[in-house]
Amino acid sequence: MRLIIMGPPGAGKGTVAPGVCQATGCRHISTGDMFRSNIKNQTVLGQEAQGYIKKGQLVPDELTIRMVRQTLLEDCRGDQFLLDGFPRNVSQAEALDSFFAGEERGLDAVILLVVPDEQIIRRLSGRMVCPECGESYNINSRRPAREGICDVCGNKLIVREDDREETVKSRLEVYHSQSEPLADYYDRKGLLLKIDGSKSPEAVTQSVADALRGI
C-alpha cells in the first residue's frame, strides 16, 4: 500500500504509525525523524534543516523533497510505505504525485487525524521523547515505568526543543495555513480518511485499521 498519515503536530501520527505498518507491511517514513537523525549525526542536511526546525518552520521544499524522493524511490522502490510528516504543503503533494507520474496506480489512502488545538497544546506540553530510539511518552497519559528513562532502551528522556510553547504555536500556525489545505487536495481525489484523533492511542489505531479495511 501507499499511504500518508497527516494531522497537526502531536496528533498521534508517530504513535499510530507502527500499528498501521505492522498491519499493512508498510515501511514507516517519518520526515521529522529523518531530519532529527540528520541533526544528531551532524550531516550537511541536518545543519541546513536545524534552524528551521528550532523555529517551528518548515524546512525548504527543495531539501525535503530531495530527501523523500531518494528514500521512496531507492529504499522502498516506490511501494509499501506510510509517509508521516510529508507532504506538508500543496507543492510537496504535487511533487509526490510526480514521483508516480506515468504509473497507473497512485496513493491508496490519506489518513487525517483530527485533534482540536487546545488538546494539541496540552499533549505537547507533556511530551518527552527518547533521543536514541525515538519512543514517545507523556507525563499526563503515558509515563515511563522509571521517571525520565526510556522503557525501550534505558536512555534518558528529553523534551524536544520544538515542543516548547512558543514553537508549538508556530507549528500549529504553519499547520493551519500550509498543511490543512492538503485535506481538500486529497478529499477531491477521493483519498481522504478522516479519523477522530482525540481518543486514546488504542482507539485511534483501531479506527484507522477499520477505515483502511474499507479501501
Site residues for ligand AMP per CB under 6 A: 9, 31-32, 35, 52-53, 56-59, 64, 85-86, 88, 92, 162, 171
* Catalytic one of 127, 142, 164, 169: 127
* Catalytic one of 2, 36, 123, 171: 171
Q: How far is the CB of 108 from ligand AMP (least distance, A)?
A: 19
Do residues 133 and 152 make contact, with C-beta atoms less than 8 angstroms apart? yes
Nearer to ligand AMP, 47 or 215 (CB): 47
Do residues 41 and 31 make contact, with C-beta atoms less than 8 angstroms apart? no
Q: Is 127 a catalytic residue?
A: yes
Q: How far is the CB of 213 from ligand AMP (least distance, A)?
A: 26
Q: How far is the CB of 193 from ligand AMP (least distance, A)?
A: 19
Q: Is 2 a catalytic residue?
A: no
Q: Is 188 a catalytic residue?
A: no
Task: For residues 122 and 106, give the distance between their C-alpha atoms in angstroms, rounded to a whole number.
Answer: 36
* Catalytic one of 2, 36, 88, 123: 88
Q: By C-alpha distance, which of 164, 161, 163, 133 is closest to 149?
A: 133
Nearer to ligand AMP, 6 or 150 (CB): 6
Nearer to ligand AMP, 55 or 142 (CB): 55
Nearer to ligand AMP, 109 or 120 (CB): 120
Surface-to-core class of residue 178, CB atoms within 10 Å of its CB (0-12 exposed, 13-18 middle, 19+ buried): middle
Q: How far is the CB of 162 from ligand AMP (least distance, A)?
A: 6
> What's at 191, amino acid-wise?
L
Task: For residues 29 and 27, give the distance between their C-alpha atoms in angstroms, rounded to a whole number.
Answer: 6
Do residues 14 and 30 make contact, with C-beta atoms less than 8 angstroms apart? yes
Task: For residues 213 and 194, give the distance between their C-alpha atoms in angstroms, rounded to a whole number.
Answer: 14
Name residues whose C-beta falls within 8 Å of residue 32's C-beta, 6 or more positions apart in sequence. Answer: 14, 84, 85
* Catalytic one of 2, 13, 36, 123: 13
Q: How far is the CB of 13 from ligand AMP (least distance, A)?
A: 7
Nearer to ligand AMP, 45 or 208 (CB): 45
- Output the residue with the shortest Cβ distance to ligand AMP: 32
Q: Is 66 a catalytic residue?
A: no
In the three-class reduction of DSSP (H, G, I as helix; E, B as strand; rest coil), residue 114 is classed as strand
Quick one: DSSP state of residue 11? S
Q: Is 88 a catalytic residue?
A: yes
Which residues are catalytic, by number?
Answer: 13, 88, 127, 160, 171
